[in-house]
Structure 1
Amino acid sequence: MHFKQNNFSKVPKKLTVRLNKIQNNNLIVGSEITLKKNNLDIYPFTELPKLDNLHIGVPTTFLPKITQGKYSKRNTLGRTIKLKNIDKIEKSWAIEGPNFGDYSNGTHIAIITKLIWQTKTEFPKNLSITMIPITISDEQVTIRIQIDAPLNKNSKTFYEDLLFFINLLNENIHDVDILSVNEEENANLALETETVDWELLPIGDRNLKTILRTKFGKNFHNNSKNDDSISFFSNPKLPIDHYISGTGSFERYFGMCFQNGIVVLEDFHYGNATYVFNKNWEELSKMSRTELMHLNSSDIERITHNKNWKVRLNYIINSSSQN
């Protein structure tokens, strides 16, 4: 899962959802990413071996550089934490000073006492990151990148450690996921998710407007355009299989998958178009909106929000369902 920000103060909601789906108590903080061979220099880590030296299943391990961010620095150097949530304590120092302000008269020992914050030492974790090539082709390479140490849900420090691991990996590759140590379970979860850019939301009794408020927060505004879109999404002409929520390049989009395979994606922010995918939506939705605007394909329809947009949308959906 790609994240724009470097650090988190709490485990991101998308990763919490992932965590709750994993049954195994033992977890790995890692991710599988696909790198284009002609564009490797855009990635933040520099420890990737030369392409000629990459071999499927052969790992490369490195200690994150302290310049990558504060968690990489803490991982290598540790830190001292001031405990400002508890009372200060007295601390005394012995210093030597001159008698009567003149060292020629000899010296004496003076004791200085001050109130200071109590501290806690966080020792270096020295966690390494391992990269394992999974598939290699002429154009790209898919790599599993993970923190070496597994985590156990039953550990007393599990959530504290999980947050540290997530921040450490994210500031190094800007991509994080939570994986089971059981590869079969990971494979099943991948099938459920369909694509890393979308979160599937089953049909239920929850009000659609509540879902959208949760997704967009303060950026969601009620207006006539929103009401039109919500009305369409709440009462479509054909039965819905499930809703989907964008999490990657389509973060602002919300959609629905019809039982006939058609997918409709809508951005509830003013001025954006509705996309209708007749097929191949998983692949097409990985493209940027700019790429989709210039794509000449019968697999996708882009509908601007003029006064007849719902008429056109219903016509496209019904026509596709009859083919």
Structure 2
Amino acid sequence: MANWKKSFNAIPEAIDAKLTQIKEDYVIVAATKKVKRHDVETEVYDHIGLIIKDDAVFAEGPVVPDESVGRTSAYNVNGREIVRKDLPKITKTFIWETPNFGDASTYGTHTHYNDREVYQRQIFEPRFLAIACELMSDPKLDTVLVKFSIEQIFDKKSPVFREDLLFALNLLQENTGVADIFSGEASRDEFIGTVFLDWEVFPPGNADQLITSMTKGSHGLPPDKQKVLSARLRMFQKFPVKQLLKGTNSFGSYVGALYADNLVVFENLNYGNALYILFDDWQEISQRSRLDLLKGTDENFERIVHTNGWDIKFEETMRRELATRSGERYRKRGKRR
């Protein structure tokens, strides 16, 4: 990686001034840069798909930068958690497995539960913003002009516009060494299509139809993700599902299940390293943007990371939540909160 400035603590003054000159509601994060062919040959830009092919500079992508590039790239792929010590503590249940008589292979395991008062955590879901490279000059020159851009449009009227803009600027700066903004020419519908997650609803018995809809066409899930999809749906249907859920359009990798108006499970199959159980009202959840889906702290949702034993934790959490909603006392540890 080249030795360029990695990030900004605040939106740079020059970009802030440019914002006041842009009259349109939408802006894009993009910048042009003179790129030396030697730098491309020495793989300075490989991580964003700018490579040498057929003796010329060639742009692949768009590419979601790898988490190893830097802090912002890691947040973009993995999300971020902040411990909110300024907020009241909440009760969380911790679940883990222990071998029976010290030998799980012979005697199996048993599940432990422990309630603890913990600080709330603010979860920032991974954004998965991609960077596109566009050649603006002859690709065989010793120095080529390249436009780098973030594949999302930003709405100046959004209450989190400046926060989102700073994040995108830092992602572009960290990966390319340049950052700037331009007026966005997209329509409102095109903008909404990049941000808002619409759900297609399937009856509980239509898992096969949901799988077909997520695997067909040029943008369908690859074979490895199809196996994950089938496994997730089998797991979801271990409990009485009211509706199966699928993200539409560019969010076709989202899959979930509705069990009650205030109990929804979902996961992003393309990028997910965690499964989410939400306790908010479904009608309100369905209207949120993708980035606002987990807005707030983890008081109203459970985030189950796909580490060893995550499936056991999911099943136990679901049993507890369903028992609570049916008015029954959870047989293993009582009611949640």
TM range (shorter): 0.3 to 0.5
What is the TM-score when the length of structure 2 is the normalising length?
0.44
TM-score, structure 1 as length reference: 0.46
Q: Which has the larger radius of gyration?
A: 1
